[in-house]
């Protein structure tokens, strides 16, 4: 069981992480962090594409032939092999989305076929473009990005 016993785990997890270019740097560091923390046997498959091309629904819909479907096929092959402990995806921008579960539900249902005990998370993405953070915070009514992030993370928004 994943972190249910209260004991520190020693075995790493098999993770599949899909998302956009802002998610990629964080996702690619997880393996190194797991090793540094003493986890053994940790593996991760990281699949990223820029912008809305990294949304779960975009990966799901891009199952065509050729290069555009490569990521879709990699995600499915990883899930088909079984043994995936954790599936991570990025949030989708709600603009233009009819159903907010589009993409998530498809991948989760697909993942469960060969990974019945899989855990799923949707990341909380940080704000884009650090050079604009102060302006972004002020536009949202905050004095600093730290205050905006605190409110975003802990329910003050």
Nearest to 44 by CA among 2, 84, 72: 84
Q: Is 78 inside a domain boundary?
A: yes
Tell me how many domains the chain contains: 2
- The rounded mean pLDDT for the chain is 84
Same domain? For 59 and 112 the reply is yes
Domain that holds residue 53: 14-125
What Rg value do the Cα atoms of the chain yield, rounded? Answer: 17
Same domain? For 40 and 78 the reply is yes
pLDDT given for residue 1 in this prediction: 45
Same domain? For 114 and 150 the reply is no
Q: Is 7 inside a domain boundary?
A: no
Q: Which residue has the tokens 């709600």?
A: 94
pLDDT digit string, tens, across residues 30-75: 988 988 888 888 999 999 998 888 989 999 988 766 666 789 999 9
């Amino acid at each position: 069981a994943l972190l249910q016993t209260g004991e520190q785990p020693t075995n790493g997890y098999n993770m599949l992480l899909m998302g956009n270019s802002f998610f990629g740097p964080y996702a690619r560091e997880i393996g190194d962090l797991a090793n540094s923390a003493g986890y053994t046997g940790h593996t991760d498959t990281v699949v990223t594409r820029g912008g809305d091309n990294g949304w779960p629904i975009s990966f799901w819909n891009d199952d065509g032939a050729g290069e555009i479907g490569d990521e879709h096929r990699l995600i499915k092959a990883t899930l088909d092999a079984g043994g995936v402990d954790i599936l991570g995806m990025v949030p989708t921008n709600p603009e233009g989305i009819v159903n907010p579960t589009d993409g998530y539900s498809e991948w989760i249902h697909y993942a469960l076929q060969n990974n019945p005990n899989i855990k799923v998370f949707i990341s909380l993405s940080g704000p884009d473009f650090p050079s604009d953070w102060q302006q972004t915070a002020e536009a949202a009514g905050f004095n600093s990005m730290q205050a905006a992030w605190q409110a975003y993370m802990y329910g003050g928004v």
